[in-house]
Amino acid sequence: MSPNHTFASPAQHSLNNADRLKRINEEFKAGYALVETITNGVTFFGSSRMKDGEDHYNNARQLANELAKRGSTIITGGGPGIMEAANCGAREAGGRSVAFNIELKKEQGNQYITDAVSFYYFFIRKVMLASSAKAYVFYPGGFGTLDEFFEISTLIETNKLHEDVPVVLMGTDYWEPLMRWLRHTVVEKHHAFEPEDFSMWKITDSVEEALDVIERCNGRMGVCKY
C-alpha cells in the first residue's frame, strides 16, 4: 500500500449495498495499513479556518514541533488551519507528519504531510484518528472538532480507549465556557454524566504544560487525572 493513498470517488447514491460495503472494507484496510506503521502518535484536532499567524495556529505549530523533536508522530485530518499548523511543525522538526484526509470539495490537504490516506466516509476517518494516537490535542474548532472531542471523551469514559490517554484542550478562551455549560447544565441540572469525568481533560494555553501532561501521562497505569 502506498503511504499516500486516495480512493476513487463514485457518487455514493449510485452504489448498491454490496459495492458500498466493499468500499468501506477497502477504506478500513488502507487506514489500518497506515495506522500499523505509526509509533508514538499524537493526534491534533482543530478548525480548518485558522490562519497562519493567528495565536492558536502558532501554538499548534510550536507544540507539534516540540513533540516531533521528542519522537512523536504528528497526526491530523490533513486539512488547512490547525491541521496544517501541526503538520508544518512536525515537518520543521524533521519528524513524521501523517494525515487521514477526508474527501471534501471545500477542504484541500496541506503541503506538510509525509504519509496520508484519504477517505470518503467520515466514520472510518474518525476510527483512524482515534486508533492511531497515544494522546489527543484539541484546539478551537467547529462541528468536526466538537464531534471528535465528544467521540474521544465517550470512548475513554466507556473504556473503549485506554484510560491513561491524555486529552489536552488548548485554548482556555474556547474550552472553559463549554466546561461551565457541561458542569452546570449537563451535570448539575440534568445529571447526564459524573462530575469525576471532568478529570479526563486538561485545559491550558501553555505548550510547556501540554508537553508535560502528554509525557507524564503516557505509559502510566490508571486514569490520567488533572
Q: Which residue has the cell 480507549?
A: 161
For the record, the C-alpha cell of 55 comes out as 495565536
CA distance 26 to 13: 18
Q: Could you give the angle at which helices 122-131 and 143-157 cross, rounded to 10 degrees?
A: 50
What's the pLDDT tens digit per position in 152-194? 999 999 999 876 799 999 999 999 999 999 999 999 999 999 9
Give the domains, in start order, of the chain with CATH numbers: 15-217 (3.40.50.450)
pTM, 2 dp: 0.90
What pLDDT digit, counting tens, does each position of 134-157 carry? 999 999 999 999 999 999 999 999
Q: Indicate the pLDDT class of residue 128, thresholds 50, 70 and 90.
A: very high
The pLDDT tens digits for 49-103 are 999 999 999 999 999 999 999 999 999 999 999 999 999 999 999 999 999 999 8
pLDDT band of 9, cuts 50, 70, 90 = low
Concatenated DSSP letters for 93-156?
TT--EEEEEE--SS----TT-SEEEEES-HHHHHHHHHHT-SEEEE-S-SHHHHHHHHHHHHHH
Which pLDDT belongs to residue 221? 37
Which residues, listed in sequence order, are joined to residue 4 by a DSSP beta bridge?
116
pLDDT at 222 (0 to 100): 41
The helix, strand and coil proportions of the chain, stated in percent and rounded to the nearest 5, come to 50, 15, 35
For residue 86, count CB atoms less than 10 angstroms from its CB and return exposed for 0-12, middle for 13-18, buried for 19 or more: buried
